[in-house]
Structure 1
Amino acid sequence: MTRKARAATAAPPTPAAPAPAGSPLSQLALSRLEVRNLATIRELSLDFRGGFSAFTGETGAGKSIIVDALGLLLGARANTDLIRTGEDGLLVTGFWGAEGDDECSASRRVTMQGRGIARLDGEVVSVRELQEWASTRLTIHWQHSAVSLLTPANQRSLLDRQVGEEVAAYTAAYRAWGEARARLENLRAGERERARQLDLLTFQVREIEGVAPQPGEEEPLSAELTRLSNLETIAQGAAGALDLLSDGETSAVGMIAEAIKAMNAGAKYDETSAQLQRELRGALDAVQAVVGELRDVAEDSAPDPEELDRVESRLTALGRLRAKYGPTLEDVVAFHAAAQSELEALNRDERDAGTLEAEVNRLQGEAVRAGETLDAARTRRAGPLAAQLVTVIRELGMPHARLEFRLTPLPQPGPSGLSDVTLHFTANPGEDLGPLADVASGGELSRVMLAISTVLGAETPAVVFDEVDAGIGGAAALAVAAQLGRLARERQVLVVTHLAQIAAHADHHYKVEKHVEEGRTVSHVRLLNERERLEEIARMLSGNTSEAALTHARELLGRRAAAS
């Protein structure tokens, strides 16, 4: 079945809230989610619309499965427990933008073996790439994510989103100071080791330089050693050759000389004979030249002890270097260059140790100045940001709420600045402000989180809230619903809720239901029509669809219609 055909089988949608001009929803909103074999979902094809969408259902129906599915596209850990019992794996696919050429998709497959495949527009990517891509289009506030507000780091990050340049400048200055300080500490802590290394490198460099090896010199030296070691044999061979050529009773020189004389008469009358005679004379000259050289060889029957010692010593020295720094002379030369470079660096560190401390002090001063600039920027932004947040928080059913960012100086510069940044809060009149982590209830934390999402923005075109209404009810629930509606004017807002007041305020209402099919529990999600929505809100109010419950539900829906 095609995507269009499947979409046609859904219940008639309520009219979608139009996205404002220039809204990112037109191109980057989440348009569709397809899920297979995730928990109790066998197969799901769900179309999304702009504006505010609520997901409701009875306790245990699996309302948060939709959030789990979207979380997989955001790179959440893929636990095999999420795979539907009896299946080999699960698959989640999300579509963004209008169907057609502008539509893009992301998917995540997880198998029972723990393997997974992530894709963007059908191409395989890493989970990190999938996460980076999806995180620019979708933000999820999980059921317990408001607890993250309790950490000082997250409280500081809220304020630092307003002072990015100053944060970056301080981070760079602090890093430079830290690197110089670490280098100085290493120099001081490793003085004994550095001295040992200096001695070793100095010895190695001098040992190699003392021999001054030249790549390729061993082969001719080895040949010379072989010659010197066999001079007696060489001399005997030369003497034998001399006897045959010149010194014997019958010698080659004498016979050639006689041959030349024998041709004298004929050479006077025959040019060929004359030419041959000339060639014999040349041969005689050549033999006599060889005889001269052979005589030198024959007389050199014992090697020069100094020369033999020189060659043997040189080869021994080269072999010793190869054994320690080789295996080849090229390796020895390369080792020398590396050792020389390291020796120069150690000597440089030795010389720099005195000036490095001054450099550390200078960089510390730069970090402090950057930290003071950061503190000033944080202070400038803290008041206006807190005022914006308080305005929204008071609209969420806490009319007496107060909130402020406080900067507490640290004993020395830290990775994030010269001061800790903490949120202080109170929801009650006459009460002193206290650390948010100590004084806020779960419901108050949820509303502070909603205020932050509204004021600072989710930075993505789609925002998902999983049970943002935890711990609230009554007028506070109505205020939260109204705030979600306001946020939905600029963002696509998806909310999993158990409160009728919030569901009644949504532009679109989806219901999550469980059924038993062929002996297996199966969850379905469907878009409710007007009558079904009225009955669902009545059930959420009273647990039934009595006339009184339906009347109350009509009042809630009527209040939303009047507000819009």
Structure 2
Amino acid sequence: MNRRPAAHPTLTRLEVQALATIDTLELDLGGGLSVFTGETGAGKSIIVDALGLLLGERARTDLIRRGEDQLLVTGFWQAEGEEAISSRRVSRQGRSVARLDGEVVALRELSGWTAERLTIHWQHSAVSLLTHASQRRLLDSRCREQAQAYAGAYAAWQAAAARLERLQAGQRERARTLDLLQYQVTEIREVAPAIGEEEPLQAQLSRLTHQEAIAGAAEGTLELLSDGEVSAEGLLQSAARTLAAGARHDEVSAQLLEELRSALESVAALVPELRTIAEASAPDPEEVAQIEGRLAALGKLRNKYGPELSDVLTFLTQAEAELEGLSRDEADAGSLEGEVARLYAELQTVGAELDQARTQAAHPLAESLLAVIRELGMPHARLEFGLTLLPQPTSGGLSDVTLIFSANPGENMGPLAEVASGGELSRVMLAISTVVGADTPVVIFDEVDAGIGGAAAVAVADQLATLGKGRQVMVVTHLAQIAARADHHYRVEKEVLGGRTISRVRRLDPAEREAELARMLGGQTSGAALDHARELLEQGAGVAKASTKRRVARG
């Protein structure tokens, strides 16, 4: 089945059953920018948790609604008129069943399939920016070809170096292993066991060792059937003659006579075979010894490499392969040092090319990011990429990559991990999503607005709306400025029914949306708060129209 993502797929519907405080949820989703809001503690992130399960996140059994045996999350995806369905079911026993278009697949396959369509920026995602690996991958997004070439060269060098190290460290042990394997292979090959040969050999041995008893039994049977003064054969003949007198006059007696004669023929046929058995000569001791020796040799192999002959032959195949590999290593050890040196030199060349590509890409990328970061309420921010040569090559390159940052004028620049606040990190993450872009057509932000407000909140809202022009963007937010810019507004609500807490998610109509924005602004829905909410909505609509006009003009 072709499961590559179609062009620009969108998540059109999400169905959730028995997840946390959700009983049953059937949510239709739209394109552009969607926001999810609600009171503190309403469970706004439940939607993110549900989609996280489709991404392969660990399925905690405490996510299953109390009183239920399992939860189910189903996503419906639409692209170019075709629909795809992904789902994941988790039982209270911890068993997880993943499906794509109804077909059961490995969780790894579901995770990879969803990851091509969906990116989630969790509340803690911005923290990942603090690692050198994340900052390096960000810069390498502008020099993928060189980064991939370096990764290949590094893998080849590491494989050769590791093999050489094994050879050098284990020469004595390898010699002992070679001797043992050679002995084991020779021992099995000399016996040359065949699957299924033991049973007929054991039957033959049993016959030969009990030949005297077998002959005696046959002789006694002959005495009873034909050789004795009173024998079965003689009695049957007399019975047939007696019955014949009546068979001439009675059809039933005639039929019985035929059966009696048939029995007599059967007894007569047994006699020569029994005589052959009774007159058989004593077994050949050499033949008995040969069979006993073969069975002993097979039994020895089973005891050492079994328990069955099929296991012995499997062991032989594995031992021969290992023997071949060790012998090849022995032969290759002399030439491998030169190969490692050649691969290391090639790695240095490719690594230098990667560093050059990074240096060329660093300034333009930093400037692009800064343009967005400054719009996000940090007009004096400075940012650049620093490259530091490492003492030894690593999987990431010959140099380390560090984001150097300062948010305020007059402050020294320093590593992003040391100088950025939580709110600043969130805005840098949003700038990266806007400039570099997520690799997927659907992007979710779980409270990316943490730690910001005022003018910065408006700027973040503008960027999220911009991102929503080219992707399906969903945002869990507590800021009215962001919610006012959404194309679709959903509210997460909790209520208690029958002593049980239930979360619901519903799309707001225009009047409900004004009330929700008023609540977010001041915790109330007074006339002034509603007026402020309408003002935000009008401002958001105006910005959207202006943005559209600018895009048309540029086009």
The answer to whether the aligner puts 1:189 opposite 2:169 as a matched pair is yes
Residue 548 in structure 1 maps to residue 528 in structure 2: yes
Offset of residue 333 of structure 1: 12
Residue 266 of structure 1 aligns with which residue?
none
Residue number among 359, 371, 396 corresponding to 1:379 in the alignment: 359
Instruction: Find the partner of 2:16 among 28, 31, 35.
Output: 35
Say whether 1:104 aligns with 2:84.
yes
Distance 1:341 1:316, change over 3 A: farther
Give structure 1 stretches of 5+ with no counterpart: 1-23, 217-310
Q: Distance in 1 between matches of 2:7 and 2:193?
A: 71
SS across alignment from 2:82: coil
Q: Which residue of 2 aligns with 1:240?
A: none
**For each residue in 1:431-461, what CA deviation from the matched residue of structure 2 results, as whole angstroms up to 9, or x when unmatched?**
2221111111110111111111111111222
Where does residue 9 of structure 1 map in the other structure?
A: none
Q: Distance in 1 between matches of 2:123 and 2:359?
A: 32
What is the match of residue 245 of structure 1?
none
- CA-based RMSD of the aligned residues comes to 3.6
Q: Which structure: larger Rg?
A: 1
| Equivalent pair of 1:28/1:137 in contact (CA under 8 Å) | yes
The residue type equivalent to 1:499 in the other structure is L
Compared CA separation, residues 460 and 317, structure 1 to 2 (3 A): same
Aligned to 2:508: 528
Name the counterpart of 1:424. 404
Match of 2:472 in 1: 492
Alignment of 1:69-468 (within 5 A): 69-97=50-78, 102-197=82-177, 349-468=329-448
User: Structure 2: how far apart are the matches of 1:494 and 1:442?
Assistant: 21
Q: Which amino acid aligns with 1:32?
A: R
**SS of 1:106 mapped into structure 2:** strand
Q: 1:351 to 1:144 in 2, by over 3 A?
A: closer
Query: Residue type of the partner of 1:531?
Result: A
1:395-454 deviation line (CA, Å, top 9, x unaligned): 111111111121111111112211111211111112222111111111011111111111
Distance in structure 1 (CA, Å) of the matches to 2:472 and 2:456:
22
Secondary structure at the counterpart of residue 379 of structure 2: coil
What code does the residue aligned with 1:83 have? I
Residue ranges of structure 2 left out of the alignment (5+ in a row) = 195-286, 545-555
Match of 1:291 in 2: none
Mapped partners of 1:207, 1:77: distance in 2 = 50
Show CA shifts across 1:171-207 (max 9, x none).
2222222222222222221122234345556778999
SS in 2 for 1:97: strand
Task: Give the structure 2 partner of residue 512 of structure 1.
Answer: 492
Matched residue SS, 1:103: strand
Count of aligned residue pairs for this structure pair: 448
In structure 2, the CA distance between the partners of 1:333 and 1:475, relative to structure 1 (3 Å rule), is closer
Confirm or deny: 8 A CA contact 2:6 2:79 kept in the other structure. Answer: no
1:65 is the counterpart of 2:43: no
- For residues 186 and 22 of structure 2, what CA distance do their matches in structure 1 show? 76
Q: Per-residue CA shift, 1:77-116, capped at 9, x if unaligned?
A: 11121112112222221111179x6222112222222222
1:321 offset after TM fit, Å?
8.4
Secondary structure in structure 2 of the residue aligned to 1:432:
coil
Residue identity opposite 1:354 in structure 2: G
Corresponding letter in the other structure for 2:410: G
SS of structure 2 residue aligned to 1:62:
coil
Aligned to 2:451: 471
CA–CA separation in structure 2 for the residues paired with 1:35 and 1:497: 21
Q: 1:36 to 1:365 in 2, by over 3 A?
A: same
Instruction: Output the TM-score relative to the length of structure 1.
Output: 0.71
- 2:239 match: none
- Contact kept? 1:44, 1:525, Cα under 8 Å: yes
Checking the alignment, whether the CA contact within 8 Å between 1:464 and 1:495 is kept in structure 2 is yes
CA separation in 1, counterparts of 2:538 and 2:314? 86
Q: Distance in 2 between matches of 1:77 and 1:344?
A: 42
Query: Aligned in 2, Cα 1:91/1:317: closer, same or farther, shift over 3 Å?
Result: closer
- Worse overlay, 513-522 or 142-151: 513-522
